[in-house]
Amino acid sequence: MALLINIKVRGRSPYIVPHVRSQKYRFVGFPDEELEAQITPPGGKSFPKVVAVRQKLNEAWAFVTGRAAKHKDCNQYFKSLSRGKTLVEVVAEGDITVHCLEAKEGHTSAELPDADTAARDIGIDPSLLFRETAELSAVLIHELAHVAGATTDPGAANADAAEQALNHCLCKAQFRAAVRG
């Protein structure tokens, strides 16, 4: 199905924004079609960078649906998760809506996780849009693994199940062993 991107129109989200149980952040619509940030490369000079939200997310989604979802090992791994569905089946079940994560009052963007999932809604740290598309694709695959039944409990025996999906879905370079839940 489709990737729906929650970009505010006249200050309002066009999609229902799920409530998540976090003291630190909430899901919101992206404030605009383009985001701008100051980028400072290691040892380099700071410069402004503008990213087109819809374009960047669609590029990452194209990798997920066009490459990862066609990869046999990726589908076998997803099928091994608790819902017993391949990545192709998870994507075909319905639309996925992507929202922006926003720090709540008293918290900062540095406290945001890369992403969070609430059913078929995924909230992402907007700073991900300024990184390589491969990193954003990997985050979407990780979150889709939660949709497919990977635990979100960092204390569970199989707490790395969502991150392990990266090793099977053409994202080995983005795998981070310390990511749990």
- With a cut of 90, say whether residue 4 has pLDDT above it: yes
Output the pLDDT for position 1: 80
Output the pLDDT for position 68: 98
Average pLDDT over residues 85-113: 98
Check: pTM over 0.85? Answer yes or no.
yes
Nearest partner of 123 among 108, 102, 149, judged by Cα: 102
Any alpha helices (H) in the chain, and if so which ranges?
A: 53-66, 72-80, 87-92, 133-147, 161-168
The pairing of strands 96-103 and 121-124 is: parallel
Provide the mean pLDDT of the chain: 97
Distance separating alpha carbons of residues 180 and 171, to the nearest angstrom: 17
Q: What share of the chain in percent tops pLDDT 90?
A: 96
- With a cut of 90, say whether residue 162 has pLDDT above it: yes
Nearest partner of 69 among 179, 147, 126, 160, judged by Cα: 147
Nearest partner of 174 among 124, 147, 134, judged by Cα: 134
Distance separating alpha carbons of residues 168 and 19, to the nearest angstrom: 31
Q: For residue 17, which phi and psi values (nearest 5 degrees)?
A: -100, 120
